[in-house]
């Protein structure tokens, strides 16, 4: 992978994931919302680096090995001595919905912008093509870390870097503090060129009565391109003053809905960065997400993407 070509930098946390299978046994993998998106972007041929902090344990080694196997750059995956990465225990119900219990309070990813080498991440972000992060990313950091991260995002944007943000609101990660969440999200939205929210999240956090209301609210922040994921049937895209509903090409009965939104975001970003118009990009995103939910786990087998 050439380091000279401008690249996408996805920022966040990847955890060890133990998933209970139908026979009661557990399988070990790893996932994290922005990590999942980075994997699917890399599979689409994008030049992607993942920015996070890991421990010095064997499972952190495994995460880096997986990232390399997926052709992701790992030079922004910092290591924290004597620390261990977070752990998530996942069960999937009969409707394909996941239920997770996570142990991540001491995860090194929470200190990414307070570690001694955090300036390495900041410098790389300044030269990126696009920076991608989520509401889960924001929920990780202390006020100090948030201040540094958002300042770097703002400077990078002034330097011509595009900023993509998926709200991906999870109340538990914010300890139920909605006022703080809204304040932090507003700061992120002020710095975003592209928003990729899910309507059900926005309705909970902001009280939006419709996807159209979500678009209107985000446009007030000056965001020109907004894609609202609206459940399994459609998405609403607004760009350059035009708003259009894009239906799902094929309705799929899900086996596992985990990473549906993450894969959608990857499909959309990859298509847009490859020159597709917003509506065509949403259709590509629907197809990738539709394939993902046919498979268990956040990261589907590579051969399942052969048609995408």
Domains of the chain as residue ranges with CATH: 8-302 (3.40.1190.20)
Q: Which of 166, 256, 262, 277 is catalytic?
A: 262
The rounded distance, in Å, linking the Cα atoms of 243 and 237 is 6
Are the C-beta atoms of residues 221 and 188 closer than 8 Å to each other? no
The rounded distance, in Å, linking the Cα atoms of 298 and 206 is 27
What is the pLDDT, as a whole number, of residue 5? 55
Q: How confident is the model at residue 14 (pLDDT cuts 50, 70, 90)?
A: very high
The rounded distance, in Å, linking the Cα atoms of 13 and 272 is 25
Both structure tokens of 27: 């399988």
What is the pLDDT, as a whole number, of residue 163? 98
Question: Which of the residue ranges 2-16, 128-142, 199-213, 283-297 would you say has the lowest mean pLDDT?
Answer: 2-16
- Gap between the terminal Cα atoms of the chain: 21
3-state secondary structure of 87: strand
User: Is 256 among the catalytic positions?
Assistant: no
Q: Is the pLDDT of residue 74 over 60?
A: yes
Q: How confident is the model at residue 1 (pLDDT cuts 50, 70, 90)?
A: very low
Pairing state between β 8-11 and 130-134: parallel
3-state secondary structure of 283: helix
Q: What average pLDDT does the segment 255-275 reach?
A: 95
Stated pTM of the model: 0.95
Average pLDDT of the chain, as a whole number = 93
Q: Is the pLDDT of residue 101 over 90?
A: no
The rounded distance, in Å, linking the Cα atoms of 199 and 235 is 9
Q: What is the dihedral of CA 194, 198, 200, 201, to 10 degrees?
A: -70
Pinpoint the alpha helices (H) of 159-259. Answer: 178-189, 199-206, 211-219
Q: Is the pLDDT of residue 307 over 60?
A: no
């Amino acid at each position: 992978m050439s380091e000279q070509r401008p690249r996408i930098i996805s920022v966040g946390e990847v955890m060890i994931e133990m998933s209970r299978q139908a026979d009661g046994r557990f399988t070990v993998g790893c996932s994290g919302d922005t990590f999942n998106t980075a994997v699917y972007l890399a599979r689409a041929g994008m030049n992607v680096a993942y920015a996070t902090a890991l421990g010095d344990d064997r499972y952190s080694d495994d995460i880096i090995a997986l990232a390399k196997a997926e052709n992701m750059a790992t030079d922004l995956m910092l290591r924290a001595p004597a620390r261990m990465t977070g752990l998530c225990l996942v069960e999937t119900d009969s409707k394909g919905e996941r239920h997770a219990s996570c142990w991540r309070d001491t995860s090194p990813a929470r200190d990414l912008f307070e570690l001694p080498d955090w300036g390495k991440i900041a410098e790389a972000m300044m030269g990126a093509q696009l920076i991608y992060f989520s509401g889960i990313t924001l929920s990780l950091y202390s006020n100090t870390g948030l201040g540094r991260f958002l300042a770097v995002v703002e400077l990078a944007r002034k330097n011509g870097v595009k900023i993509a943000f998926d709200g991906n609101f999870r109340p538990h990660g914010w300890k139920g503090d909605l006022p703080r969440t809204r304040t932090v999200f507003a700061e992120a939205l002020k710095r975003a060129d592209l928003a990729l929210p899910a309507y059900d999240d926005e309705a909970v956090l902001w009280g939006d009565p419709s996807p159209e209301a979500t678009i209107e609210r985000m446009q007030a922040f000056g965001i020109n391109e907004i894609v609202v994921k609206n459940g399994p049937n459609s998405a609403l895209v607004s760009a350059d003053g035009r708003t259009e509903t894009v239906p799902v090409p094929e309705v799929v009965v899900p086996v596992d809905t985990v990473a549906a939104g993450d894969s959608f975001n990857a499909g959309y970003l990859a298509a847009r960065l490859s020159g597709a118009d917003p509506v065509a990009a949403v259709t590509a995103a629907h197809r990738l997400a539709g394939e993902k939910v046919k498979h268990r786990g956040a990261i589907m087998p590579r051969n399942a993407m052969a048609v995408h």
